[in-house]
Structure 1
């Protein structure tokens, strides 16, 4: 009997050699081999390097339940999941709750034309540092990374509620975003350690229910809280709810991945594994882009050297980031071998354009309801409730579909086409549009968005696992069975498996970047259109004052402007919103086209 093929059926956090008190001892002539049985369970085989038989081998099989129990020290997986999902929901809530209240905050501070920064700075820090958490958790442990994110988010939320001016609020939102991005990423990373790829879709569906509910319920909840007790409590509400996430990080979780992987090195050696240059490059890229799009056509003309200079430097910094990831970084934020493959890149771009379009609609719709139709903050926020339900249904439907069918390619095509239809219908909104039509558009958009963020992540992870097994197969086929070959083979596969956490971070990077860019671009289109049209339509001695009120105090135009000027302003709002929705249609088309390049891979049914 020839020696069976050695397969690497371990998870990203599993040890190369399982430590167990019942493990048989072996001498220098024996070689431990990590294998996978036909049913997907992990088997550790100890055999002689000089023989081609396994009759004298000793094997120990670990079931999925034993793997999870060992990693959680017997703690309930349900408690861990709930704690993680609460953190995900709160991070998403903090990103969307300003959708309904930012007109009110801008009016209070008399800076409505600049208020978009309280949204974009949160999403910027949320996005820019999010991919770091995958590497940080590999280097310093899952518990340490989650605890850091929870504490920072707690501090940032408290500071937001206590802010007394726009600058302080923007800084506080930036701090909260650093923690929020970590809560979101670590939830996905830890979940990857506890469930199989095939079941991951279902559990990711639950996580996306929390994310989607937080993303969309933030608008109506923010409106109700603002009208009843004030906008500051929209941020204070995070503090008591975050206690369960803190409990999980402090009392339940451990740095189990460091325990399993004993070759962690010293503290300074682990610090060297973090991609600082890549992190700096991606932050500079996004900041320069946001500064350029926020100023261009708003406070400065697009022909201003500062505006186009920032745009040019943004693209240059982006190119530098790609070079760093491909050629310099030892442990890159965005592994080049993954992102340059067809399906992972298609998944990333589908995620990017999907969130870009959906978040753009989320931040444009309140202006339509409040500015054009004249609803109060709480009344306008109620229109988001159907989207919350649709997001939940879309995410769960996608998860159960993949768990049952083991398929995602056709489902992604279906959900992205639905999103394209939703955006197309939304572009027809006017003051005479019926409520039923508006709700239909929001429901279609919500179902599509919830489905997309679930399926693209699972599809991306399945590619990483598949590529690792194929590489291992060809390596096995061409090399001899020697001790040296076994060590190289195990190291090579461990490198692929540790990319699972990083791949999750990359997926979240594209998702968050889509939200940041979407909000920034839509705000630029809206503000630029309003400024241009009002300058053309309103003349006379009071023109400058009227334009200033229309741009900085959207919620008060009905009380501050005379009837003739008000009619012009409201018509201008409607036109600017329609142009913004046209851009959302373009985003949805790009999302659909990106999804067509996604390939189908097998979804494993066992924990790896």
Structure 2
């Protein structure tokens, strides 16, 4: 390929506005123009830019942002028991994880449309700035409520780091080269997701959990440099006379709102049910009913109201897209359940430190990265994804079934190959299910399918984390109430067991410590069984996916 003569200059404004399907939320994004002829011309001009130094500088800067966005979703996995103990709120600490994922899921589908209306540079700068502020606030948090708020702010920015990176990469990369660049972006995203847990444990045990969030600050220099010096609002037309409110009205704000309501009400119900309220409490039942109602309204809004819906019903209702979406939902629910229950097993039950617990995550890190890369290689060279999805779903189900048998007598070295299989299978499923979604639709619908894939993926993770933690807390409470009946200090012991899990060995009287640890053992087992159910549902979903020719 020839080198662009102006390769060291930043991207310049284009006279033609690219019609990007703006709901994109992940590494693979397909930009398309209004006609095949203009698309070919666009691809040829972009191909020349791929040898330009600034193009690679831009992409690396953007992918660093993708890495951070993904890292922040998982870095709390090994440190949340310690944070919960410090604030004496272990029974509520899961909100630290789910608040980030919820705001992330709600805003990421809107960022593409924002970048089309207000410019790539402006929107990306907003996302980086909000993520920067959220990270600072997380590190400075003095209460659980403040930390949850800060994580929500960080999630708003994190969704933009992922989405705008996808959109800009799509602008720069030709159709011919897009598969290769998707693999690079997936590697950054996957690395952030799987490195978060071991890195969080190491930082927590050495310099403190707050530095898990302060760590983002220096790394953000890469995305900040790209956003201020290497990217312009090149996609905006000079003759665009739309007002600010006209641009805002193009957003599917109502759709995003009802997605948030649907997931939030489930999260709140699972946080309260079996915890501070009984599952039969009218308020908890009302929350579940409100979630169902919000979901119904969301479908109505997407089908009849939204001009640019974040989830077009006529597309997602097709068999393969719907089956692929649910494969994503259940797979990520399973993966995130394991991500947040495994630290309980290693730290609370086996009494390993956060950093030691993080080391046991390393095989999962390697497995996830290799799985993602293998899926890309397999699909690119064989053009086949259905059998690969089914085989990897069987592998994930086998792995979580083995994990569900673990107890205090399990050889810790045996956990490593099992978690590696779990990570490898999940890495394959995440990559291959995205390809299965976009392979069966027209080119102009590909980015919309990518958006739907990531929307199901993120909401599945939120629901998985919320329900698994509700199961854990509920089982611990019920078992201790039964087994400590008649004990004078029963209420205090139960309070310590549920709110200060990392300190039970020093705070719980020796006569009752084994009882508390036994309740943890049973509760973790039930949480892992929930993960098995999600893996089984993911496998069932893959059976309905059809093989399509890759175009």
TM-score, structure 2 as length reference: 0.90
The structure 1 residue matched to 2:245, chosen from 254, 258, 268, is 268
Contact residue 262 and residue 292 of structure 2 kept, 8 A = yes
Residue 258 in structure 1 maps to residue 232 in structure 2:
no
Matched ranges for 1:367-406 at <5 A: 367-406=344-383
- Residue 439 of structure 1 deviates from its aligned partner by 0.9
The answer to whether the 8 A contact 2:20-2:116 is kept is: no
Structure 1 residue 450 displacement after superposition: 1.3
Measure the CA separation in 2 of the matches of 1:108 and 1:10.
49
SS of residue matched to 2:260: helix
Q: Tell me, in whole angstroms, the C-alpha distance in 1 between the residues paired with 2:170 and 2:189.
A: 17
Task: Give the superposition deviation at 1:146.
Answer: 2.1
| Rg larger in structure | 1
Match of 1:331 in 2: 308
Segments of 5+ residues of structure 1 without an aligned counterpart are: 1-8, 17-33, 44-61, 469-496
Q: Give the superposition deviation at 1:74.
A: 5.4
Deviation at 1:354, TM superposition (A): 0.7
Residue 14 of structure 1: how far off its partner (Å): 4.9
CA RMSD of aligned residues (A): 2.3
Q: Does 1:563 align with 2:510?
A: yes
The equivalent residue for 1:116 is 94
1:423 partnered with 2:423: no
| Alignment of structure 1 residues 131-280 onto 2, 5 Å | 131-195=109-173, 200-259=178-237, 265-280=242-257
CA-CA distance at 1:138 after TM superposition:
3.0
- Change in CA separation of 1:107 and 1:580 when aligned onto 2, cut-off 3 Å: same
- Decide which moves more: 225-234 or 138-147: 138-147
Matches within 5 A, 1:300-319: 300-319=277-296
Deviation at 1:132, TM superposition (A): 1.4
Does 1:579 find its partner at 2:526? Answer: yes
- Cα shift at 1:276: 1.7
Supply the distance in 2 between the matched residues of 1:350 and 1:264 (Cα, whole angstroms). 42
Residue 595 of structure 1: CA displacement?
A: 1.3
Q: Report the Cα distance in structure 2 between the residues aligned to 1:65 and 1:392, rounded to whole angstroms.
A: 32
Residue 212 of structure 1 and its aligned partner are, at CA, apart by: 2.1
CA distance in 2, matches of 1:405, 1:194: 26
- Given the alignment of the two structures, is residue 550 of structure 1 paired with residue 497 of structure 2, yes or no? yes
Aligned to 2:9: none
Query: 1:451, CA displacement in angstroms?
Result: 1.4
Structure 1 residue 316: Cα displacement: 0.3
Residues 156 and 176 of structure 1 are in contact (CA less than 8 Å); yes or no, is this contact kept in structure 2? yes
From 428, 437, 440, the counterpart of 1:460: 437
Pick from 521, 534, 553 the counterpart of residue 480 of structure 2. Answer: 534
1:201–1:398 contact (8 Å) kept in structure 2: no
* 1:451 maps onto 2:412 in alignment: no
Q: Any conservation in 2 of the 1:157–1:172 contact (CA below 8 Å)?
A: yes
CA contact (8 A) 1:139 1:264 kept: no
1:360 is the counterpart of 2:306: no
**Matches of 1:346 and 1:190, distance apart in 2:** 29
Q: Distance in 1 between matches of 2:367 and 2:227?
A: 31
CA contact (8 A) 2:341 2:524 kept: yes
CA change 1:10–1:67 in 2 (3 A) is farther
Preserved contact between residue 198 and residue 402 of structure 1 (Cα < 8 Å):
no
Any conservation in 2 of the 1:131–1:509 contact (CA below 8 Å)? yes
Q: Is the 8 A contact 2:20 2:167 kept in 1?
A: no
Deviation at 1:464, TM superposition (A): 2.9
Question: Deviation of residue 389 (structure 1)?
Answer: 0.8
Measure, in 2, the Cα distance between the counterparts of 1:411 and 1:142.
Answer: 36
CA distance in 1, matches of 2:469, 2:294: 23
Residues 46 and 174, structure 2, Cα contact 8 Å, conserved in 1: no
Q: Deviations over 1:353-382 (max 9, x none)?
A: 111001100100011111111111111111
Q: TM-score w.r.t. structure 1 length?
A: 0.82
**1:5 corresponds to which residue?**
none
Pair 1:89 & 2:67 matched: yes
Report how far residue 405 of structure 1 moved.
2.3
| Secondary structure class of the residue paired with 2:440 | helix
Q: Distance in 2 between matches of 1:360 and 1:112?
A: 17
- Using the TM superposition, give the Cα deviation of residue 155 of structure 1 relative to its aligned residue in structure 2, in angstroms: 0.7
Q: Spell out structure 1 runs of 4+ moving beyond 6 A.
A: 261-264
Q: Distance in 2 between matches of 1:556 and 1:504?
A: 44
How many residues in Structure 1 have an aligned counterpart in Structure 2?
524
Instruction: Give 2:387's aligned residue.
Output: 410
CA contact (8 A) 1:298 1:527 kept: yes
